[in-house]
A and B are shown apart, each in its own frame.
Chain A
Amino acid sequence: MAEDLKLMRTWSSPYALRVVHALKIKGLEYETVLEDMTKKSASLLEYNPVHKKVPVLLHNGRPVCESLVILEYIDDVWKQPPLLPQDPNEKAMARFWANFGDDKVMPLTWRVFTSEGKDQEEAIGPMMENLKFLEEQLKGKSFFGGEAIGYTDIAFGWMGNLISILEEIIDLKLVDEEKFPLLSVWINKFSDDPVIKECWPPRDKMVEKFKVIRERYLKQAP
């Protein structure tokens, strides 16, 4: 049964990739609507008037916005395979760590990436402190979700391709295999998973894009 599903996304957005991964895992077919954030389409502004951002999932013409909200919606409507655990406590933990990623890990990683010199040195400590929590969470598990990729893994999916890209650009190890062995293994396992692998945007284009972003930040810095 074909669902009426459209995903408004950009070619590189890690948030949109979360939805791509989730739809792939659920085996759902959908139409991609590529957006250009420098020239937002009238549709995007209509379907996401509050944030004017991607991703937007359109299901039977009705928009769902905000990547983690979309993940929960997809899991609610299409039950198999489940992304979130059934147990209420495990479900709460899955949500907690996904939020932690967005509230702490991502901004701190971004701060390290968009700074240099002393600013960068000062940003590294807090980032490492927070990565320790993630390392702890992977003890005895293949994925954050347990034996299979789940909600939290998808939420951290950005680390799957972006970490090595950022490391290449700033010539600095962000996730060191010695300090974070479990997280390093997870990054490789997640990014090489057959369902995930084919969704990655072209690496060279990503390197180029993020180089430009970093330069823009460094120019603006006081």
Chain B
Amino acid sequence: MLAKVVLPRWLMSGAYQWEYHYLKLEELANVYMGQLVSQFSMTDYPLSFHGLCSAVGQCGNQVGCRFWDLALREHSHVNKKGIYDEALSSFFRNVDSRRSVGGSCDITGGRIQSLKARAVLVDMEEGVVNEILQGPLRELFDSTQLITDVSGSGNNWAVGHWTYGSAYREQIVDQLRRAAEHCDCLQCFFLIHSMGGGTGSGLGTCVLKLLEEEFPEVCRIVTSVYPSAEDDVVTSPYNSVLAMRELTEHADCVLPVENQSLVDIVNKIKHMSHSGKPGSVIKKDSAIISGQGGVSGAEKPFDAMNNIVANLLLNITSSARFEGSLNMDLNEIAMNLVPFPRLHYLVPSLTPLYTLADVNIPTRRLDQMFTDAFSKDHQLIRADPKHSLYLACALMVRGNVQVSDLRRNIERLKPMLPFVSWNQEGWKTGLCSVPPVGHSHSLLALANNTCVKSTFMELRDRFTKLYRKKAHMHHYLHVDGMEQGCFTEAISSLSSLIEEYSQLDATKDRPMPDAARLNIAT
């Protein structure tokens, strides 16, 4: 029997909004006895995972914006009492906003007063950041967390990396240090940027280098959005290849996302929700592309695509934020998925991408989710990992899934997936009990797979077309700090990366004998 009840939903401004909920009677009793304790209000527990986000450039900040919005939605869904708990503390500080900005101090535990994102936002153009500051997320950021300029980078990697890189170096390092000081235990940096432009690509990779210099022991995970072939920025191949070299040298893990894949996924979802197949209705408000239920208002053009990337970040950090029977934190991801230091490009795939309202047999639907994770349509780059070689694969499962479900599906899928000979059982798994909003379970797969090679080869081709004719190069070369050598080094780094993947590919269908064991004198 269900009772209709009005309960408060806290907003980050500290105010409460009253909402209708349908509760079972037992839950009702708990609420009125003040005991509806969320599993995660562990206020006595020492804070554990803290992640610091840096969004650079227009794309990076737009994705970042969706990430904060959806993160708040996710936490408010499980955290009904408005207690600042360990899960929230992973990405948000709780401050007493009555004090001045400079002296605002962190409050651990207790009621949520004012949340601040653990972030540093950087953009050399004001448009996107100003929008954030005028929107409902403005309260999440102190003015000190924002580093902006007016003129932008003109889609020029050199301007982003060298000109702004040196001009803003001190300020960026300062802000990063401040943000890091507010973290009890800084476990990981997330950098979000695009590869094709000037700021995200150039200044973003400069920030990456700074992170390595200042905090060499903290894991650096980069989400990079790669341009599609029809990108309207002519110089995007130059920018991307120049940035690639920095990613290969200075990042611990890169999650590459291709714009074209996001476009394809969004189109497919829109097509399905309009096709009106009998007996199937897409629950739009729980679709992974929908930002509904979040704090921001109406959706903007790139929002659907950006939501997908934001969900990627939510899922990768879920086990570090919420509890589960098999925890998987970010250091473990970097450890298990990167067998050789430069081969750290992890192809992400997310399921489900939409929810059907009609009820299927639960187990079959769960298994379908695993199958989908390996299908071409669910990858966030345009590649088919099933037909290339897996070096390692991580599965992060959220929701009510047990270790036996996980093992059953791995057994089932293993025969269809080619793994490198020395890592035949190269699976890293995690179970987090809390599913994303609107779903009963979800799966994020991160594959270290040689299929990234094709993305890189295409990039190299586009680069070569321009480079052969020296098109637009003067714009780069007359920037202080930039030389011809930068180009040759970058393309050579990319080529040798491709070569490393090729060599591994060559072992694919060759049966490898076991290495001869050591002989012990008896």
A and B are partners in one complex rather than unrelated chains: no
Q: CB within 8 Å of A: which residues of B?
A: none
Q: CB within 8 Å of B: which residues of A?
A: none
